[in-house]
Structure 1
Amino acid sequence: MVGKYGYAEASISRITEAANVAQGTFYNYFETRQAILDLLPPRYAQKMNEYIASRMEPGLCGVDREVRRLEAFFDFFRETKESARLVNEATVMAPEGFARFGVIVRKGYIRALERSMERGEIERMDPKELGDVADLLISIRNGLSHMMLSAEGNRKRVPKRFFDSYRKFVAKALFR
């Protein structure tokens, strides 16, 4: 509903009609419209993390794994019609949900970096520094997604050169 109409136009009547339930039934589960809207970003984050994890081949290591993580992110973003609108509008229309979205994405990235540390692919670092590195990588990913994929449905493949540049960058900045 939000992907199609945006948060502002995702009314309770539209939501209940699409779910084929009465509006009274809606209020048995949610106190307000905002309550359901704030559920969407965290669920989207979980879905995205699961998608990315499912695209990680077991034999990939180090920088190859990190580049594949970025490729999988863009694949998910491109394949998920509601992605741009859901995430971009959430900052204003579902701020609590967007905050939880950020926590879920960040924790997932930190876990991935911790595994890279355990395998000796990146230097050991304290938890605060690791969180900073995760934030930097997420920021790169998000910035590229805004440049490459528009909310208007532009779902073109990200040029290979972006992944090549990312590979060079993370190989020098992070991986041994």
Structure 2
Amino acid sequence: MDVVPDKRQRILAAAARLIVRNGLQCSMAAIAEEASVATGSLYNYFASKEELVLGVYTQVSAEMTERLMVPPDPSLSAREEVGRYIERYIDFIWEDAQRARLFDYLDNNPLISLDDAKTVFGPFVLHGIAMIEAAQAEGAVRAGTPTMITSFLRGSIRNTLKRRRLTETVLPAADRQLVADMCWAAVRA
């Protein structure tokens, strides 16, 4: 049983666990059971499975926003800001295997509309675009669509660490640096 006292949070946590374990075919009844709430109670918080999945997306987005959307540090160059972002994203993906798998699953099997996804992740995506545009203006990042460059960085990190997580429980500092260096090498000007 989850020890999270807030029912809504328990439901979201249960849905996230079951989506990782069983995919989107998990039933609302199974989610309610996993959350230790009555199925009817679950519907008091989420009117439909789509709404519940949107809640899970929103929670993942909030975690990403909190950890990765830090204001620019005026003492750092735009290149250093990109490097800091890469390192924070590596840590964000590595530290919670379930969250990383959930993000990959939701990203590849969306149950919500593209418009909802844009609304939920829009601020996070716009932050990445602005960071890349600033680095491009500084001449530190290669020319190209900032959206594609930030998507490449995030996808490269997620996929590399997903494979690594299959055989390792700890990400050695040298390997973490290698991932960061490879990301930077791919986008530098």
TM-score (norm 1): 0.69
Counterpart position of 2:180:
163
- Give the 5 Å matches for 1:122-141: 122-123=136-137, 132-141=145-154
CA, structure 1 residues 102+86, in 2 after alignment: closer, same or farther (shift >3 Å)?
A: farther
1:148 maps onto 2:179 in alignment? no
Counterpart position of 1:60:
76
2:184 partner amino acid: R
Supply the RMSD in Å over aligned alpha carbons. 3.5
Counterpart position of 2:88:
72
Secondary structure, in 3 states, of the residue corresponding to 2:52?
helix
Secondary structure, in 3 states, of the residue corresponding to 1:42?
helix
What is the percent sequence identity of the aligned residues? 16
CA, structure 1 residues 97+84, in 2 after alignment: closer, same or farther (shift >3 Å)?
A: farther
TM-score (norm 2): 0.66
Distance 1:58 1:10 in 2: 47
* 1:4-63 deviations in Å (ceiling 9; x for gaps): 523346432332234332111112232323321232123212211211135976643311
Distance 1:107 1:7 in 2: 27
1:30 maps onto 2:46 in alignment? yes
- Give the 5 Å matches for 1:41-52: 41-52=57-68
Distance 1:169 1:152 in 2: 24
Contact 1:149 1:156 in 2 (8 A): no
1:27 partner amino acid: Y
CA, structure 1 residues 162+19, in 2 after alignment: closer, same or farther (shift >3 Å)?
A: closer
Unaligned runs of 5+ in 2: 1-13
Counterpart position of 1:12:
28
Q: Once structures 1 and 2 are overlaid, which stretch shifts more, 59-68 or 94-103? A: 94-103
- Give the 5 Å matches for 1:79-98: 79-91=95-107, 93-96=109-112
2:179 partner amino acid: F
Unaligned runs of 5+ in 1: none
* 1:120-164 deviations in Å (ceiling 9; x for gaps): 65429xxxx98x312322223213321222475855424312322
Q: Which has the higher contact order (CA 8 A, sep 6+)?
A: 1
CA, structure 1 residues 79+98, in 2 after alignment: closer, same or farther (shift >3 Å)?
A: farther
1:162 partner amino acid: V
* 1:96-143 deviations in Å (ceiling 9; x for gaps): 1676445544542433543676xx65429xxxx98x312322223213
